[in-house]
Amino acid sequence: MRRPRCSAATSSPWPHQSRATRRAGWGLAAALLASACANRGEPAACLDRRQQARNLALAGEIEQAQALLDRVKAECGPNSAADIAHVTKLIAEKTAARREKERLEQSQSELLQKFPSRAFVEWATARGGDIRGKLLEPHCAERGTPEFGFCEGQRSDVPGMRLRYWQTQPEAYRYALATTRPPSCQDLGQYRQVRTWSRGGSDFELCELTDRRLRHLSALIVHTPPEAYEMHIFSQDYPGIDPEFERRLRVIPEAR
């Protein structure tokens, strides 16, 4: 016997019978249809729950999606089988993506710990040094203060990395790193050493970046014994608006 479908019929199965006979037939068909659908054990809320579980999985709410999917498995009938399989696969894919993201974040954290200057150079030279989007909440000095005109802030996920720039001339900027691990001009990639010198108990090294897209940038490395290091990557316009930093670039003979 053919299994009745859980949907309304589009035409009468008794086209040549009287109206009374057709009404009785429709009543019997409706009863059979209701019985067939009830036997599938598919509560009315199952469709909504399946869809909600899928949406939660897509949004990355994996735990909530799995809990709701478990409920669908326990309470809904065979009509849910295909959606259950789909959402199960979706949850597995999202779980794998989350684990890979966590692995990459852990790897980046380890890189920052072992080689902070390399991560610093990547951050500072991204998009040719362009500062847009590099700071979430830059702070600009108020009018009347000695620092008025400057904006600065620290990299959100790395407290030792900072960015400073002139508010009305954003192409004048300086990235700064403070670390206990020695940086090197070799971390810059293509570079040319300009000079080295010592002053006030600190050692200085000035290098120019020679990559075609980074030729407007220079780097200053400062080592103050025993284990204090600084690395600055700055644009060619920056020293002109920061006299204090410009003085650090000068080779001033120490008094004997």
- The token pair at 100 is 């890979």
* Rounded CA separation 172/241 (Å): 8
Expressed in percent and rounded to 5, the helix, strand and coil fractions of the chain are 45, 20, 35
Q: Given this model, what pLDDT does residue 40 score? A: 53
Q: Given this model, what pLDDT does residue 17 score? A: 57
Q: Given this model, what pLDDT does residue 254 score? A: 55
What is the per-residue pLDDT across 49-78, written as a single tens digit (0 to 9) for each?
Answer: 888 989 998 988 999 999 988 888 888 878
Mean pLDDT over all residues of the chain?
A: 83
Q: Given this model, what pLDDT does residue 74 score? A: 86
Q: Given this model, what pLDDT does residue 25 score? A: 53
Q: Given this model, what pLDDT does residue 161 score? A: 94
Q: Taking the CA of residue 26 as centre, how many other CA atoms within 13 Å lie in the half-sphere pointing to its CB?
A: 13
Strands 150-154, 161-166: pairing is: antiparallel
- What type of residue sits at position 240? G
Strands 228-235, 202-209: pairing is: unpaired
Region 95-107: mean pLDDT is 80
Q: Given this model, what pLDDT does residue 73 score? A: 87
Q: Are 213 and 204 in contact (CB under 8 A)?
A: no
Separation of first and last alpha carbons in the chain: 110
What is the per-residue pLDDT across 220-248, written as a single tens digit (0 to 9) for each?
Answer: 999 999 999 999 999 999 999 999 999 99
Architecture (CATH level 2) of domain 116-248: 3-Layer(aba) Sandwich (3.40)
Give the start-to-end residue ranges of the domains of the chain. 46-113, 116-248
